[in-house]
């Protein structure tokens, strides 16, 4: 067992009054049903330790708010009056995530149950456009998603924008996005203006952080029944032109003091060579980013280098060549995989994640990258057996950040269900 360090001195802790007690218990019941599935009020009372009358009142309020609904009768009871199951009412509340990346814009709307209402990605050569033009196009995509939510009479919990750069913790604004060629841009304010100052919350977050949250949720959906328990510590590596890291520590995103954590792409581990988007040389992303792979594997006029084509189509071209045994492609992939392992081992030594998740282009080309990466972790990590770290490929591909963005908007509802619907 691990010792618990005391809560941090800076926060005084929260003195619970009866309003916050009820809000906390609404959150407990809602998350309980989300995580463990439909169940009777009696069973919720048993499992949470709340008394039955309290659970009935909490469920009633959550039903009123459109977050839970009555389900089928409880067929598991052998004796006595059959109970009624309650289940998550996914349909009434949605979250939206939207992403600006180097060569695409994307958007997703998810409902409370995690089902996809809308998902869309369009190739855009962002680095060669004015920020204002890109934001105009992103606003169109967000409007489409909001329309889709409204079309099913859903309440919008919020919109979260993913950007491939440094997001200041205090202001929530973009400070620097080297691979977009953007300096300080008030992305949230610019978008609010374009969207006509909407009433829903709108936030900006680093794309790798959001992809990490999405990967975390994905692991919890797919690994619920595995023995050994679900992971609470993961590092997600997302690669396209830039390489970003998102860190989940003990179930929470790690932001760092100013919000700038996870800048793994600029670890100075490579020999001096190609100049990085940040202006330095020797950065990790100069040897593991998509540009590095394309330079090694293809000629200048190769269509897979064309940023006006969708990135998944371009990667499908690489995959076909690798599957056909093309020597140049395979050699480039091995080289990238080896460098991926060198930086990956550093991250595992420092953070000891349960899982290292390959996202973005690393996920697509994972079949060729995984072996040298795993080898490096076994060889270079001081803890026996790589500290138990597994390498997995995300199934979300380039949708991870927008899914994570939609999710983090919805998470606010699980933390405080009173944000949604009318009070009972």
The residues in 218-277 that bind a copy of itself, with binding defined as CB under 8 A, are 220, 229-233, 245, 247, 249-269
Does residue 179 belong to the site contacting a copy of itself (CB under 8 A)? no
CB atoms within 10 A of CB 204: 24
Q: How far apart are CA 169 and CA 312, in angstroms?
A: 32
135 part of the interface to a copy of itself, by CB under 8 A: no
- Smallest gap from Cβ 7 to a copy of itself, in A, equals 7
**Interacting span for a copy of itself (CB under 8 A) from 7-15, 104-112, 329-337, 392-400:** 7-15
Q: Does 152 bind a copy of itself (CB under 8 A)?
A: no
Contact (Cβ atoms closer than 8 angstroms) between residue 307 and residue 125: yes
Burial 382-394 (b: 16+ CB within 10 A, else e): eeeebbbbebbbb
Q: How far apart are CA 118 and CA 192, in angstroms?
A: 21
Q: By CB under 8 A, which span of 47-55, 102-110, 122-130, 190-198 interacts with a copy of itself?
A: 47-55
Kindly state the smallest distance separating residue 16's Cβ from a copy of itself, in Å.
Answer: 5
Residue 87: both structure tokens together: 């289940």
Stretch that binds a copy of itself, among 25-33, 87-95, 112-120, 148-156 (CB under 8 A): 25-33
Residue 414 binds a copy of itself (CB under 8 A): yes
Nearest approach, Cβ of residue 370 and a copy of itself (Å): 19
282 DSSP assignment: S
Q: Is 160 in the site for a copy of itself (CB under 8 A)?
A: yes
Q: Which helix (H) or strand (E) holds 219?
A: helix 207-222
Q: Closer CB to a copy of itself, residue 154 or residue 353?
A: 353
DSSP one-letter code for 177: B
Q: Decide if 260 contacts 309 (C-beta within 8 A).
A: no
Q: Quick one: 134 or 409, whose CB is closer to a copy of itself?
A: 409
Contact 421, 155 (CB under 8 A): yes
Q: Which residues in the 335-394 window bind a copy of itself by CB under 8 A?
A: 342, 345-347, 349-355, 380-384, 387-389
C-alpha to C-alpha distance for 370 and 337, rounded to whole angstroms:
7
Determine the straight-line distance between the first and last CA of the chain, rounded to whole angstroms.
Answer: 42
Helices (H) and strands (E) in the chain, counts: 13, 15
Nearer to a copy of itself, 10 or 196 (CB): 10
Query: Does residue 196 belong to the site contacting a copy of itself (CB under 8 A)?
Result: no
Smaller CB separation from a copy of itself, 281 or 319? 281
State the nearest-atom distance from the C-beta of 409 to a copy of itself, in Å. Answer: 8
Nearer to a copy of itself, 24 or 319 (CB): 24
Residues in CB range of 274: below 8 A, 6 or more apart: 281, 286, 291, 292, 295
Does residue 5 touch a copy of itself according to CB under 8 A?
Answer: yes
Judged by CB, which is closer to a copy of itself: 28, or 304?
28
Binds a copy of itself (CB under 8 A): choice among 131, 178, 337, 359? 178
Element (H, E) at 55: helix 52-64
Residues 67-126 that bind a copy of itself (CB under 8 A): none
**200 touches a copy of itself by CB under 8 A:** no
**Taking CB under 8 A as the rule, does residue 143 contact a copy of itself?**
no
Shortest gap between Cβ of 248 and a copy of itself (angstroms)? 8
Whose tokens are 């009866």? That residue is 18
Q: 400-415 and 18-36 helices cross at what angle (nearest 10)?
A: 140
- Least distance to a copy of itself from the beta carbon of 298, Å? 27
- Cβ at position 37, least distance to a copy of itself in Å: 12
CB of 15 to a copy of itself, least distance (A): 4
The whole-angstrom separation of Cα 348 and Cα 73 is 48
Q: In what order do the strands lie in the sheet with 390-393?
A: 252-253, 243-249, 234-239, 355-359, 390-393
Count of positions on this chain that bind a copy of itself (CB under 8 A) = 99
Give yes or no for a contact between 322 and 368, defined as CB atoms under 8 angstroms apart: yes
- Of 1-9, 131-139, 294-302, 323-331, the window that binds a copy of itself (rule: CB under 8 A) is 1-9
- Residue located via tokens 């009696």: 42
Closer residue to a copy of itself (CB): 329 or 394? 394
Q: How many CB atoms lie within 10 A of CB 69?
A: 16
In the range 49-68, which residues lie near a copy of itself by CB under 8 A? 49-50
């Amino acid at each position: 067992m691990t010792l618990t360090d005391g809560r941090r001195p800076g926060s005084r802790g929260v003195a619970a009054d009866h309003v916050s007690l009820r809000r906390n218990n609404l959150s407990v019941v809602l998350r309980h049903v989300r995580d463990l599935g439909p169940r009777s009020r009696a069973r919720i009372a048993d499992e949470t330790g709340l008394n039955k009358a309290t659970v009935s009142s909490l469920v009633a309020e959550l039903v009123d708010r459109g977050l839970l609904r009555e389900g089928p009768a409880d067929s598991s009871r052998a004796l006595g009056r059959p109970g009624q199951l309650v289940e998550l009412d996914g349909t009434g509340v949605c979250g939206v995530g939207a992403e600006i990346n180097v060569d695409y814009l994307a958007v997703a709307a998810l409902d409370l149950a995690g089902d996809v209402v809308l998902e869309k990605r369009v190739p855009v050569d962002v680095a060669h456009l004015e920020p204002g033009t890109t934001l105009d196009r992103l606003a169109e995509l967000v409007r489409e998603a909001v329309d889709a939510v409204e079309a099913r009479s859903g309440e919008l919990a919020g919109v979260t924008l993913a950007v491939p750069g440094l997001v200041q913790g205090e202001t929530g604004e973009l400070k620097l996005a080297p691979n977009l060629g953007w300096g300080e841009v008030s992305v949230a304010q610019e978008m609010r203006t374009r969207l006509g100052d909407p009433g829903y919350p709108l936030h900006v977050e680093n794309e790798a952080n959001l992809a990490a949250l999405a990967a975390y949720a994905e692991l919890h959906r797919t690994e619920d029944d595995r023995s050994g328990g679900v992971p609470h510590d993961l590092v997600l590596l997302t690669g396209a032109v830039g390489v970003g890291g998102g860190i989940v520590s003990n179930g929470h995103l790690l932001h760092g003091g100013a919000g700038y954590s996870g800048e793994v792409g600029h670890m100075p581990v490579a020999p001096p060579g190609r100049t990085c988007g940040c202006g330095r040389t020797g950065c990790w992303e100069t040897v593991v980013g998509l540009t590095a792979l394309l330079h090694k594997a293809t000629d200048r006029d190769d269509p897979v280098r064309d940023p006006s084509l969708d990135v998944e189509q371009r990667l499908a071209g690489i995959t076909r060549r690798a599957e056909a045994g093309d020597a140049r492609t395979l050699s480039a992939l091995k080289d990238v995989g080896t460098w991926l392992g060198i930086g990956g081992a550093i991250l595992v030594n420092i953070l000891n994640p349960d899982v290292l998740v390959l996202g973005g282009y690393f996920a697509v080309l994972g079949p060729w990258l995984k072996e040298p990466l795993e080898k490096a972790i076994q060889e270079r990590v001081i803890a026996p057996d790589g500290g138990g770290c597994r390498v997995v490929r995300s199934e979300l591909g380039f949708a991870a950040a927008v899914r994570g963005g939609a999710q983090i908007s919805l998470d606010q509802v699980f933390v405080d269900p009173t944000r949604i619907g009318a009070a009972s």
